[in-house]
A and B are shown apart, each in its own frame.
Chain A
Amino acid sequence: MKKIFSLFILTGFLYSFEINGEGNINNFYFIKDSVKLVPYNFHELQLNIKNGSEKYEFYSSFVLRAFEEKGTNLEKLSLPSFKLRTHLWEYYLSIYDFLFKNLDLKVGKQRIAWGKADKLNITDVLNPFDFQNPFDFGKKYSSFSFLFDVYLPKETNFEVTFLPNFSPPLFPENFNFFEILNFYSPLLKNVKDTIIYPENKNFKNSMYAFKINSKILKFDFSLSYFYGFDNLPIFKNLIIENDTIKKIEYFFPKMHMAGFDFSGELKGIGIWGEFGYFIPRDTVIFSLFPSTPDTLLSSPYLKYIIGFDYNFKNGPYINFQFNHGFLFERYSPSIPNTLHDYYVLRIEKKFLREKIKFGLSGIGEVLNFKKLKNNYGYSIIPEFLYKIHDNLEMKIGLINISGKGKTLFNSFKDLDQFYLNLKVSF
């Protein structure tokens, strides 16, 4: 009787919420035999619930990720073949006209997306990266924060964000992401690491941000400022014994970022730009060998991305971006070429009333045009999307990567792969 009553209450409770979500099946198949990684296949179920009125809204999103695993010995063959990770991806309460009219407060674990560029948003620094699909660049996780948003006349609003705690990024489940990136010296591969997290016991390590959004001559723009932790860990210490590196300690350095972005159009062509001026607060000194200390982070640096898009009548959609300083690149005064230039192109063409879409994406980088032969990297991604029915789509694609020299894509070049994604929305 008690169970029936509980079920009745639960049903009534859930009925008052709006529920939707999606399921994703992601499969990746490496092409080259030389790849040492296991495929990072993972499948995902997302469940969103929402309830609210004109005065408030409660939203929560649960994500269940299942990572395929294989037993490495006879004993482990009996284990389930999936590693499950559950995330309370977002939960927040939005209160409209909080304290006074035109002040909104949104409190909880939330995604605050900054920047007007397409996907590669260099000023989008409030939330940590989600690298669990390493080729879904720009995907972000959520962080607990208080967001105050004041709406002023003339389509202007002012945002104040307070993030009491630091949230770390999500790295791929089955391999060392830094190793794949070839981020630092090859000497550091296969060395044990420890991550030192900022302490979250008080407000000492809190982060905050301000942003003003407005419009001039039909161009939208925003000015922003952030003070907090860098999303990606960096070396703090190397423990060296008998001239051998035994252990690396990583930490998350603090930084200031001043940002500016804009979007608008000229003669039917959509244009945008995003600029981030980063001022590292922590000077990081590490040495591979005590005789050659090296400063990794200390000087301010500028990263930017500018782009345009255009729809040809009954023809393709073209989107081009030029990016100086990729999402996870940092400047180092003592290491040449730490901020690379990237040329990003996407061409799409839809057929049969958006039932079929062909896409071709390409990212190219050139470290030195004079020595092009040995200083380039690129990735080409042809993709086919088929909407099987409403709420059901299939995506297949090929990621082809190549490069030479110290380019980002050269470090990925063994990871050529086919991918398949099936998505159902409900």
Chain B
Amino acid sequence: MINFLFLFIMFTGNEILKRVEDTYNAPSDRVSEIKMLLLESDGSKKEREMKIWMKGKYKKLFVFKNPAEVKGVGFLVLSDEELYLYLPAFKKIRRIASSLKNESFMGTDFSYNDLAKSEFTKNYNAEIKNENEKEYILELFPKPESDVEYSKLIMFVNKEIFLPDSVKFFDKGKNLFKIMRNKKFNKIKDYWVIGEIEMENVKDKHKTIMITLKEDLDTGLSDEIFTQRNLKRAE
């Protein structure tokens, strides 16, 4: 009923974007087990498995479970400028400079930033480009002070659940770079969450599919999870 009423409310682009952000960040925390499929243009496939802990807008911890060569590699995000990588072979935590944040995350089509950032309104201004029965079509332009790698995003926002059905990413040369398709939505407790994401790199015809195998929300995660101490232990 509430969603139905929203159909009659006129939103600005930034208001829709804020709602998307709020839907993304609605659970206070989440613990997910993820499978990533890396699909090469020649049809070959690689698998990655990891566990993700998230709390609030910033705090995230990623730990790889598979394959063996990256098992135990951990990635901790405390804020935009505080990213740490743990490499078990060296028994050492290394701070990552933000210049790395726009690079591919462990060979996937997601950048470190794609996985680390969930604050759209901090980084983008949105305008409604179009809309249809099912979706708002937003154009997102980076704010001058933001350090995102894209020149523009086109976001197709599902009117019913206020999560994007898909997002087109344009590089600094304003060429279409990547397309993200959210292929499955799950309702857990009262929250809508994304169950399967496909990220396609249009330039080199490579895809990464991220499938959520298990997800727990509002588990009461302690802040101690998001520490360097736990980054080593989570291995």
Measured CB to CB, the residues of A under 8 A from B are 20, 22, 57, 94, 96, 104, 111-113, 116, 149, 151, 155, 157, 218, 220, 263-265, 268-270, 272, 309-313, 317, 353-355, 390-391, 393, 425-426
A151 surroundings in chain B (CB, below 8 A): 227, 229
Task: Tell me if A113 and B228 are in contact (CB < 8 A).
Answer: no
- For the complex, give the distance between the alpha carbons of A426 and B69 in Å: 7
A113–B100 CB distance below 8 A:
no
User: Which residues of B (66-121) have their CB < 8 Å from a CB of A?
Assistant: 67-69, 71, 79, 81-82, 90-92, 95-100, 102-104, 106-107
Of the candidates B38, B69, B79, B91, the one whose C-beta lies within 8 Å of that of A111 is B91
Closest B-chain residue to A52, C-beta based?
Answer: B233
Pull 13 A–B residue pairs with CB atoms less than 8 Å apart, ordered by A. A20-B68, A113-B92, A155-B228, A265-B81, A270-B96, A309-B97, A311-B99, A313-B149, A313-B172, A317-B100, A390-B46, A391-B69, A393-B69
Within B196-234, which residues are at the interface with A (CB < 8 Å)? 204, 206, 227-229, 233
Q: Is the CB of A311 within 8 A of B92?
A: no
B147 interface residue per 8 A CB criterion: yes
Cross-chain contact B99 with A264 (CB below 8 angstroms): no
Q: Which of A96, A157, A265, A355 contacts B98 (CB 8 A)?
A: A265
Which residues of chain B are within 8 angstroms of A96 by Cβ–Cβ distance? 233
**Given A111-B91, A425-B69: A157 in contact with B104 (beta carbons within 8 A):** no
Residues on A with beta carbons closer than 8 Å to the beta carbon of B233 = 57, 94, 96
Determine the distance from Cα of A186 to Cα of B46 in the docked complex, in whole angstroms. 55
Q: Determine if A268 and B68 form an interchain contact, defined as CB atoms under 8 angstroms apart.
A: no
- A-B CB proximity, top 10 nearest: A270-B97, A425-B69, A425-B68, A311-B99, A354-B107, A268-B99, A390-B67, A113-B92, A311-B100, A265-B97
Complex Cα distance A270/B172, Å? Answer: 23
Which of B71, B104, B172, B206 has the largest number of chain A CB atoms within 10 A?
B71
Residue of A nearest to B98 (CB): A268
| A contact residues around B47 at 8 Å (CB) | 390
A155 near B69 with CB under 8 A, answer no
Q: How many A-B residue pairs have CB under 8 A?
A: 77
Q: Which residues of A contact B81 (CB under 8 A)?
A: 218, 265
Report the nearest A residue to B44, measured CB to CB: A389
| Interface pair A264/B206, CB less than 8 Å apart | no
State the CA gap A157–B79 with chains docked (Å).
20
Contacts of A313 on B, CB cut-off 8 Å? 102, 149, 172
Set of chain A residues within 8 Å of B103, measured between Cβ atoms: 311
Bitwise interface map of B from 29 to 47 toward A, beta carbon under 8 Å scored 1, else 0 = 0000000001000000011
Q: Are A391 and B147 in contact (CB under 8 A)?
A: no
In the bound complex, residues from chain A placing their C-beta under 8 Å from that of B102 are 311, 313
The residues of B that contact A20 with a CB separation of less than 8 Å are: 68, 71
Say whether A391 contacts B68, CB under 8 Å.
yes
Assess the B95–A220 pair: CB atoms within 8 A: yes
Residues from chain B with a CB closer than 8 A to the CB of A425 are: 67-69, 71
Given contacts A96-B233, A268-B147, contact A353 B91 (CB under 8 A): no
Complex Cα–Cα for A109 and B51 (A): 29
Q: Which residues of A contact B106 (CB under 8 A)?
A: 354
CA distance in complex: A20, B89 (Å): 12
- Which residue of B95, B107, B228 contacts A270 across the interface (Cβ within 8 Å)? B95
- Report whether B107 and A353 are in contact in the complex, using a CB–CB cutoff of 8 Å: yes
B82 touches A218 (CB 8 A): yes
User: Are the CB atoms of A353 and B97 closer together than 8 Å?
Assistant: no
Q: How far is the CA of A157 from the CA of B46 in the complex (A)?
A: 39
Q: Which of B147, B172, B229 has the most CB of A within 10 A?
A: B229
Chain A min CB distance to B62 (Å): 17
Q: Please give the distance in Å from A317's CB to the nearest CB on chain B.
A: 8
Query: A387 CA to B150 CA in the complex, in Å?
Result: 29
Q: How near does chain A come to B170, taking the closest CB pair, in angstroms?
A: 14
Q: How far is the CB of A270 from chain B (nearest CB, A)?
A: 3
From residue A45, how far is it (CB to closest CB) to chain B in Å?
14
Residue of B nearest to A426 (CB): B68
A56 to B142, CA, bound (A): 46
> Bound state CA distance, A270 and B97, in angstroms?
5
Chain B residues with Cβ below 8 Å from A353 are: 38, 104, 107, 204, 206
A272 to B96: give the CA distance in the assembly, Å.
Answer: 11
A252 to B94, alpha carbons, bound, how many Å?
Answer: 31
Sample of 6 more A-B contacts, CB < 8 Å, known A111-B91, A268-B147, A311-B100 = A149-B229, A218-B82, A264-B95, A268-B99, A311-B99, A391-B69
- For A270, the chain B residues whose CB sits under 8 A away are 95-97, 99-100
CB-nearest residue of chain A relative to B201? A353
